[in-house]
Structure 1
Amino acid sequence: MTSYSISEINTIVKGELIGDTSHKIESPEELQKASNNQITFIGSRKYVKLWADSKACAALVSSNLDVEPGDNRALIKVENVDLAMAKILEFFNPPAPVFDTDIHPTAVIHETAKIGNGCKIGPNCYVGKDVELGNEVVLYPNVCVFDETIIGNHTIVWSGTVIRERCIIGSHCIFHTNVSIGADGFGYRPSEDGRGLVKIPQIGNVIIGHFVEIGANSCVDRAKFSSTIIGDGCKIDNLVQIAHNSVMGRSCIMAGHSGLAGSVTLGDGVIIGGSASIKDHTTIHSGATVAAGSGVMNDVEAGKTVLGYPAQDARLMLKQWATVRRLMKDQ
Structure 2
Amino acid sequence: MKRKDAAMPIGELAKKLNGKLLGDPAVIAGGICALNEPQESFICFARTRAGLENVSFDSLRKTAAVLVDSLDAAAVHPGLNYIVVPDPQSALLSLVEVFYIPIPKIEGINPKSDIHPSVKLGSGVCIGAFTSIGENCLIEDDVVIFPHVTIYPGVTIGRGSIIHAAVVIREDCQIGAASIIHSGSIIGADGFGYLSRDAMAAQKIPHLGTARLGDRVEIGANSCIDRATFGTTSIGDDTKIDNLVQIGHNCRLGKQVLLCGQVGLAGSSSVGDRAVLGGKVGVGNHVVIGSDIRVAAISGVSRDIREPGDYGGYPAVPVSQWRRQITSLRRLPAILKQLKIRTNGEED
TM-score range (shorter-chain normalised) is over 0.9
Offset, 1:84: 1.7
Judge conservation of contact 1:133–1:150 (CA < 8 Å) in 2.
Answer: yes
What is the letter of the counterpart of residue 266 of structure 1?
A: V
Match for residue 19 of structure 1? 23
1:178 alignment partner, one of 184, 189, 208: 184
Offset, 1:75: 1.6
Judge conservation of contact 1:31–1:51 (CA < 8 Å) in 2.
Answer: no
Partners of 2:228 and 2:159 in 1: CA distance: 24
Offset, 1:22: 3.5
Match for residue 274 of structure 2? 269
Match for residue 86 of structure 1? 93
Match for residue 252 of structure 2? 247
Matched, 1:10 2:17: no
Partners of 1:21 and 1:7 in 2: CA distance: 4
Partners of 1:225 and 1:8 in 2: CA distance: 57
Match for residue 41 of structure 1? 45
3-state SS, counterpart of residue 17 of structure 1: strand
Output the aligned Cα RMSD.
1.8
Judge conservation of contact 2:67–2:88 (CA < 8 Å) in 1.
Answer: yes
2:285 alignment partner, one of 271, 274, 280: 280
Judge conservation of contact 1:21–1:72 (CA < 8 Å) in 2.
Answer: no
3-state SS, counterpart of residue 8 of structure 2: coil
Encode CA deviations 1:257-306: one digit per residue, 9 max, x unaligned: 11110011111000010011000101110000111000000111232211
Partners of 2:29 and 2:323 in 1: CA distance: 45
- Point out the structure with max Rg over C-alpha: 2
Matched, 1:306 2:311: yes
In the superposition, the TM-score normalised over structure 1's length comes to 0.94
Aligned residues: percent identity? 36
Judge conservation of contact 1:12–1:88 (CA < 8 Å) in 2.
Answer: no
Partners of 1:302 and 1:157 in 2: CA distance: 36
Judge conservation of contact 1:264–1:282 (CA < 8 Å) in 2.
Answer: yes
1:238 alignment partner, one of 232, 240, 243: 243
What is the letter of the counterpart of residue 194 of structure 2?
A: Y
Match for residue 199 of structure 2? 194
Match for residue 110 of structure 1? 116
3-state SS, counterpart of residue 29 of structure 1: strand
Offset, 1:45: 3.9
Match for residue 68 of structure 2? 61
Matched, 1:155 2:161: yes
Partners of 1:67 and 1:283 in 2: CA distance: 50
Judge conservation of contact 2:49–2:71 (CA < 8 Å) in 1.
Answer: no
Q: Aligned in 2, Cα 1:318/1:157: closer, same or farther, shift over 3 Å?
A: same
Q: Number of residue pairs matched?
A: 329
Partners of 1:20 and 1:117 in 2: CA distance: 48
Judge conservation of contact 1:19–1:74 (CA < 8 Å) in 2.
Answer: yes
**5+ residue gaps, structure 1:** none
